[in-house]
């Protein structure tokens, strides 16, 4: 099964916890704190593996959670950092954050890597908190939580040439005779339901990758038919080969077919019109095709080269392949996302913007105050609530963030319940 789009969840490893420990040796009086730091959590790294062709594996495993770092140990021994979690993806994979829409990575080259979810840093042991005023602290940190995010993986096939056209115009047949690919061929529409790739080699030993894309129909850019699922795959191609059935055996007008397909490509992505296009007049072995080709040339107003061929008899294929190879050599790659830079965009504008709040306070149905926010939740998760000094430190951090004053402004009184994650506290004046 060909899978080219899938949503998965990734989470970097949590950092290891720091530890509270003291140096106790026979001849070392007042040895002091000796708690080591936790190790760093593992990153989730996506790596391109050229042997893969689809995202099929991600249909069965949609959650990737990396290992956490080792906890710190006594005698100031730090925990070991966890090994990165490497996930293999096929070339042409685009990774997008589901919540923000940001493109995280465009993975195209074999061996290319990108950190998708960072592991958390290790928590500090009590030796890190020693000061002249408190030489033997009982404070340690838990490891920082690893980054977690929902991502969308989208595969855009890496091919130099894309075959487009209506169903049953002979795209699969053409690919099968010019390469070693074995696409499914049949006398009915939408025989091809997945993109097929083939390596084509010309007589002068030049080679390129050709993709046979499922047939397009009118309205494909709006989701009609099968072709809309695979229009994304043509975005990477350098040359578009437009295959047209000149025999008109199905009763369609070749010129109308040409206009319809080009309109669909334009509606899907206007930048597709920048790519060089070649018209392949297929099925020229059928008697009516010559007359239809003459009528087609009279109507054609675009300056597009036309190659009459017959995929079945291999007529005209040699010149067609030479022309495609020449075009590929002179056509640059088209980046997926082009950022237009002008002089104005290079100027830096400084202005004051109100910073986003580190916390948010709301009320639940029972009247309790509910405290939320990435920063405050992260601080709490890194607090070792088994140690009184760590809890007091967290209380000071909350006061420094202005949470106490914000609760008072909202009417919080002594003894009111404050909820943070799954824990409850009492507000104390």
Q: Which residues are annotated as a binding site?
A: 165-172, 190-194, 212-215, 282-285, 310-312
Q: How distant, in Å, are the alpha carbons of 16, 217, 259 from that of 265?
A: 52, 11, 10
Half-sphere exposure of 254 (CA within 13 A, CB side): 30
The residue among 276, 381, 264 whose CA lies nearest residue 326 is 276
Residues annotated as binding site for Mg(2+)? 172, 192
Report the alpha-carbon angle 323-326-332, nearest 5. Answer: 130
Do the beta carbons of residue 6 and residue 59 sit within 8 Å? yes
Half-sphere exposure of 225 (CA within 13 A, CB side): 22
Residues annotated as binding site for GTP? 165-172, 190-194, 212-215, 282-285, 310-312
Q: What are phi and psi of 209, to 5 degrees?
A: -100, 130
Cβ burial of 171 (10 Å; 0-12, 13-18, 19+) is buried
Cα 261 to Cα 253: distance, rounded to the nearest angstrom: 12
Cα 46 to Cα 15: distance, rounded to the nearest angstrom: 20
Task: Identify the residue whose tokens are 């589901």.
Answer: 98
Cα 169 to Cα 281: distance, rounded to the nearest angstrom: 9
Do the beta carbons of residue 219 and residue 259 sit within 8 Å? no
């Amino acid at each position: 099964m060909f899978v080219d789009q899938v949503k998965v969840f990734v989470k970097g490893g949590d950092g290891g916890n720091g530890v509270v420990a003291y140096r106790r040796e026979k001849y070392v009086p007042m040895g002091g704190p000796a708690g080591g730091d936790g190790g760093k959590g593992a990153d989730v790294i996506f790596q391109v593996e050229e042997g893969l062709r689809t995202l099929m594996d991600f249909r069965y495993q949609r959650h990737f959670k990396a290992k956490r770092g080792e906890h710190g140990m006594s005698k100031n021994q730090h925990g070991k950092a966890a090994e990165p979690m490497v996930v293999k993806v096929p070339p042409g994979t685009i990774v997008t954050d589901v919540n923000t829409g940001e493109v995280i990575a465009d993975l195209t080259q074999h061996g290319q890597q990108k950190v998708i979810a960072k592991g958390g840093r290790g928590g500090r042991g009590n030796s890190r908190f020693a000061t002249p005023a408190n030489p033997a602290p009982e404070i340690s940190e838990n490891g920082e939580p690893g980054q977690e995010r929902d991502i969308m993986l989208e595969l855009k096939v890496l091919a130099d040439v894309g075959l487009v056209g209506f169903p049953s115009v002979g795209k699969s047949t053409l690919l099968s005779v010019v390469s070693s690919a074995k696409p499914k061929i049949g006398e009915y529409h939408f025989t091809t339901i997945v993109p097929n790739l083939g390596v084509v080699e010309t007589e002068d030993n030049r080679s390129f990758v050709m993709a046979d894309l499922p047939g397009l129909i009118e309205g494909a850019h709006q989701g009609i038919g099968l072709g809309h699922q695979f229009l994304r795959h043509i975005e990477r191609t350098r040359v578009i080969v437009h295959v047209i059935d000149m025999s008109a055996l199905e009763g369609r007008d070749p010129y109308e077919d040409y206009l319809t397909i080009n309109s669909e490509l334009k509606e899907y992505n206007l930048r597709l019109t920048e790519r060089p296009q070649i018209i392949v007049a297929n099925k020229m072995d059928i008697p009516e095709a010559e007359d239809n080709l003459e009528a087609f040339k009279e109507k054609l107003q675009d300056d597009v080269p036309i190659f009459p061929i017959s995929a079945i008899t291999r007529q005209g294929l040699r010149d067609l392949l030479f022309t495609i190879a020449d075009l590929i050599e002179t056509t640059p790659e088209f980046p997926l996302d082009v950022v237009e830079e002008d002089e104005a965009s290079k100027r830096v504008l400084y202005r004051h913007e109100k910073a986003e709040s580190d916390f948010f306070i709301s009320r639940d149905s029972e009247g309790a105050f509910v405290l939320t926010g990435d920063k405050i939740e992260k601080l709490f998760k890194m607090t070792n609530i088994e140690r009184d000094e760590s809890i007091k430190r967290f209380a000071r951090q909350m006061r420094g963030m202005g949470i106490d004053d914000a609760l008072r402004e909202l009417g919080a009184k002594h003894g009111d319940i404050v909820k943070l994650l799954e824990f409850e506290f009492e507000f104390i004046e």
